[in-house]
Each structure stands twice: as structure tokens, then as C-alpha cells.
Amino acid sequence: MSTNSKSETLSGRQVEPANPLLQPPTALAAQAAQLVDDLRLAFGRHRARAVHAKGIILTGNFLPSETARTLSKAALFSGPAIPVIIRFSNFTGIPNIPDNIIDANPRGLAIKLGTGGFESLDIVSHSFNGFPVSTAQEFGILLRSIASSGAGVPKPTPLDKYLESHAIAKRFLTTQEPPPESYATTAYFGVNSVAFLNEANERTFVRYRFVPEAGEHYLDEATRKSMGPNYLSEEIATRIATAPIRFDWYAQLATADDEIEDPSIAWPESRATAKLGTISIECLVPDQQEASRSLLFMPATFPPGIEAADPMLAVREVAYPISYDERR
């Protein structure tokens, strides 16, 4: 299963000719629009991103491994280092959410590999191994329960009631790690499965994970309380001025027993992993405001050699441009 070939560069939208067989139906477009509206309902109506609204953008490069070339024929794995655009972010659609609170978890890592176009790849990941729900429709229900459970709502709130009957969503919202010492000191997970196709067109189902070279380090409670509301962006600017930030990119390989189409079910840690290469982040983008407005990640736009395997990606592919158009 593939998706359309729309892509986005840092400076503006670049649209490749779309395959008419892969255009989303009216029902999918309506579902995506509803999801964006549910995000706005839960987190506020503004012109920032509908989710992961607060972030910082950097650039660097990706150097593929030999192993990646055996798993996928995608061009990004076949040559020398290619450019990347990175966006670290906080959860929620609240543009000024403090960095030092648990509600800003999971943290986000979005990556644009290549310069845009048919051979480029966008990845959207976060710092929790799994998603709170199995479908985009169920995510909308969760968001509406959050929106109707604000301050002053009697207990049990609609969110309380929802979580009592949805154990995976409850675990997602209540078992997050403490805030990280840095965006560079937490692992990130691509929760939507994709299929890799090798030169023989043999498929391997994978989920991504990004492992920090600096190791995983989180704040203790006393330190968390002492940190400022923007400590993560301030820390990353200081860190990148000293040395590059590196993540090893891995593919976790599915077996026949694993849930391919349900992002709420994490695959066992016993599953094999293959190193796809290393991402080196080297500098901040100078004009953060304009970069944030113009940068669009399309997580279901794939180069030959990679295909969507999780149906949720189709909804995300349509929803992201809606949020983009609103902030532009």
C-alpha cells in the first residue's frame, strides 16, 4: 500500500504529480478534517501546528548503513550522506506549553530526509513506544474526551471514564518518562509500521526507532521543578554549538505474530533490529519562525522501496496539509 507523492521543502510546498489511483476518497478527507478539528478542540484554536505545536528546527545529514541497502531499495539508502531537516517538539497543540511538565510528553522527532521530491522521505516519531489508540477515529474520540474534561468538570470526567475502559490509552497518558535532560537524550519511536522492499521486491515489515548517541537521561523531580519553561530549546541550542548531535536509526523487524496495522500495540523488545544508519544534526535553522510556518512533514509519502503498512498513515497524510494551510 502506497500513498500519494506530495512532498514539502523547507522553503515551501513542492508537489509532485500524484497517482490518481492513490488519491484519498471523500470519506478519508472528511475524517482527516474532523481529526484536525478535534485536535483544535482539545488544545486550542490558533495558527500553530494542530499537534506538537512547540518545537525547534535543525539541519544535518544522514549516512546509511550497508544493512539498510539489503532491506530496502530506496535511493536514500544507496549512496553517500544526504541532507536532513530535523524538528524536535513537545506534545499537544499548545504553542507555549512549558518544557518542564509531564504533559509535554511524548516529545517529538520529525525528520525530512533528502531535499524534497519523489525520492525523499519524511518520518514523524515520538518518545513513547506505541500510540494511545489503534485508529484515527478512536484518536478523535480520545481528543474529544480531553476537550470536555477541563478544570471544573466534576469527577469522574469524560476522560476519566474513557481511560477506565481503554487500558492502552491510560498507560500512554500515565506512564510517560519524566521530561528529558535534552531532546538529544531520549529515544524516539515510529509507531506506524511500514514495509521495506528490497531489489527482489521482498517485503519486510518494520517500525523505526532512533537511539541517541548521548544515551537516555531524564530529569529527577527536584531538577524538573527548577528548569525553565523553554529549557529544552535553550539546551539544544547550547549543545549544538559545541558538537553535532547523533542518533542511530534502527528498523525493528516484525514477525508473523506482530500487529502490523495497530500502532497501539508495541512489538516485543525481543524482536531483531537492523541499523539503517546514523543521523548527525549539525546546526540550528536561523529563522525559526519562518521555518516553522513553511515546513510540512508528510509521513505517508514514500520513495520506491518503502510502502505504508498501517492504515492510520493514510489519515495522517491528509490531515497534515490541513494544519499546514491553517498556519500559512
User: Going by CATH, does the domain composed of 6-327 fall within 3.30.479.30?
Assistant: no
- The percentage of the chain sitting over the pLDDT mark of 70, rounded to a whole number, equals 92
Give the length of the chain: 328
Per-residue pLDDT tens for 25-73? 688 899 999 999 999 999 999 889 999 999 999 999 999 999 999 999 9
CA distances from 157 to 161, 162, 168, 172, 272 (A): 6, 9, 18, 18, 41
Q: How far is residue 127's CA from residue 175's CA, in Å, rounded to a whole number?
A: 12
What's phi and psi for 251, nearest 5 deg? -110, 125
Q: How far is residue 33's CA from residue 114's CA, in Å, rounded to a whole number?
A: 28
Per-residue pLDDT tens for 131-149? 999 999 999 999 999 999 9
User: What is the b/e burial string over 229-259, where b = at least 16 CB atoms within 10 angstroms of the residue's CB?
Assistant: eebbbebbeebbeeebbbbbbbbbbbeeebe
Q: Domain residue spans in the chain?
A: 6-327
CA distances from 151 to 135, 147, 155, 160, 202 (A): 28, 10, 10, 13, 52
For residue 290, name the pLDDT band (cuts at 50, 70, 90): very high
Provide the whole-model pTM. 0.91
Strands 245-253 and 188-189: unpaired
For residue 119, name the pLDDT band (cuts at 50, 70, 90): confident
